[in-house]
Structure 1
Amino acid sequence: MDLFIYSDESGVFDKVHNEIFVYGGLIFLSKEEKDDYNRKYLTAEKAIRCGKYSLSEELKACKISNKEKGKLYRSLNQAIRFGIVINQKNVLDRIFMSKKDKQRYLDYAYKVGLKKALQRLIKEDRINPDEIETVHIYNDEHSTATNGRYELREGLEQEFKLGTYNLKYDKFFPPVFENLKGIELLFCDSNKVTLIRAADIVANRIYFMALNRKLENMEGIYLSTLP
């Protein structure tokens, strides 16, 4: 059994000018489910184009109306959605002093939030962890600096395939998927990958709800808040 995960971000990681930063995305439990939602989302996009947007124009959340965003979001109502909300005012100031530290923190937040979503799916018996062979993760190509992609892949492998060791507490934490054969991490052009655009709409909705203090109104979504 393979998992297919698509994610994007919303907001700017800069605590001086921004309060919230969000990752949002979709988790599919099979290739068939992924392909089905790909078709559904393309149909939803086609319905809102209607001569208003050209076929070559990418329907990103920043370009379309709130009503149109709502229609696209509703097309994903039955999909497994997840989100990670970072309250920037609670993040240590020193993390913002270098690009590398900022990227490391964002990688940590993404890794932890995704792990929590998958653990909840396991607890709900929607995933059998022993049956997962490969995890395919597709992120928007702007999400991580090129030189930081290896570190993110390594961190995800530690959590999902190898397990982690806490030196402070002298404790080993087993991997989420004991029989995992590999992780595929790809960074994609959202103009060419439909479900990255869908992840953009999910991230944008979470960002809007977080800014307006309405996260508790979000249903059917696996949310984590940091720090």
Structure 2
Amino acid sequence: MSIFVYADESGVFDREHNDVFVFGGLIFLGREERDIARRRYQSAEKKMRKAGAANGHGEMKAIYLNNKQKSSMYRSMNPYHRFGVVVQQKQVNENIFANRKSKQRYLDYAFKRGVKNALKYLLFVGELSSDEVDNIYVYMDEHTTATDGRYELRESLETEFKIGTFNGTWNKFFPPLFPGMNTVEFQLRDSCQDALVRAADITANRLFYAARSGNLNLVNNMVFLTLP
């Protein structure tokens, strides 16, 4: 089986001016489920646009939709697995914000933790088996990470899920979730051309709104964690 992960961010990773930053997205178990979800989302977009949503903008993204429209698009993905991670920025070590590289490393770490948390949940509830996963494909909106950092993120994800990681401070090895898998592929996508990246945008926006408003019950059908 191949796992397909579509993700986006919401908020600005800037400790001085912002309290919350999130990643959010969707996980599909197998190519068929992914393809059905894409058609379902495109159909929902078409109906919403006919009703006048997005005000002539080319994309049906959260920034162009009102709250009722965003809720409708969010519900269209109810049959599928959602995941996220909320970063409480005021609690993050301020040294991380000192330069672009350290910020990107932390964001990669946060994203990896969010995906791993969701996949561990799917293993726990029996929707996945550790020996049935062949490949993991990760797609993110192209604005989410620096192009020159995508290789580092791909390798980090592959290490986490295929090889395992070692914490020198605690002298502890964390085994991989899918030791028999082949590889992790990572791609940046233009949301104009990928409906499921747009669906991830709506998902991330929902989590961001819930975190900022202090009403996380708005995302009770999403597997997410809070950092640090």
Tell me the TM-score normalized by structure 1.
Answer: 0.97
For residues 132 and 55 of structure 1, do their structure 2 counterparts lie closer, same or farther at Cα, with a shift above 3 Å needed?
A: farther
Alignment length (residue pairs) = 227
Matched, 1:161 2:162: yes
Q: Which residue of 1 aligns with 2:106?
A: 105
Q: Which residue of 2 aligns with 1:71?
A: 72
Q: Which residue of 2 aligns with 1:29?
A: 29
Structure 2 distance, partners of 1:77, 1:215, is 17
2:28·2:81 contact (CA, 8 Å) conserved in 1? yes
User: After the TM superposition, which residues 112-151 of structure 1 pair with which residues of structure 2 at under 5 Å, given as runs?
Assistant: 112-151=113-152
User: Match of 1:191, SS?
Assistant: helix
Structure 1 distance, partners of 2:202, 2:80, is 13
Q: Which residue of 1 aligns with 2:3?
A: 3
- Tell me how large the CA RMSD over aligned residues is: 1.3
**What residue identity is the alignment partner of 2:202?**
I
Answer with 86-95 or 145-154: which moved more: 145-154
Q: Which residue of 2 aligns with 1:220?
A: 221
1:57 is displaced (CA, Å) by 0.9
Matched, 1:47 2:50: no
Percent identical residues: 48
Deviations 1:148-190, CA, capped at 9 Å, x for gaps: 1111111101100111112222222111101110111010000
User: Match of 2:131, SS?
Assistant: helix
1:216 is displaced (CA, Å) by 3.5
**What residue identity is the alignment partner of 1:120?**
Y
Structure 1 distance, partners of 2:22, 2:171, is 32
2:62·2:205 contact (CA, 8 Å) conserved in 1? yes
Structure 1 distance, partners of 2:219, 2:184, is 30
Gaps in structure 2 of 5+ consecutive residues = none
Structure 1 distance, partners of 2:45, 2:217, is 28
1:51 is displaced (CA, Å) by 6.3
**What residue identity is the alignment partner of 2:207?**
I
**What residue identity is the alignment partner of 1:156?**
L
Q: Which residue of 1 aligns with 2:192?
A: 191
Structure 2 distance, partners of 1:103, 1:112, is 14
User: Match of 1:62, SS?
Assistant: helix
Structure 1 distance, partners of 2:33, 2:72, is 20
1:217 is displaced (CA, Å) by 4.2
1:78 is displaced (CA, Å) by 1.4
Structure 2 distance, partners of 1:71, 1:113, is 24
User: Match of 1:83, SS?
Assistant: strand
Deviations 1:40-72, CA, capped at 9 Å, x for gaps: 101110111116358871111001111111110
Gaps in structure 1 of 5+ consecutive residues = none
Answer with 9-18 or 211-220: which moved more: 211-220
1:111 is displaced (CA, Å) by 0.5
Q: Which residue of 1 aligns with 2:18?
A: 18
Deviations 1:29-48, CA, capped at 9 Å, x for gaps: 01111111101101110111
- Point out the structure with the larger helix share: 2
Tell me the TM-score normalized by structure 2.
Answer: 0.96
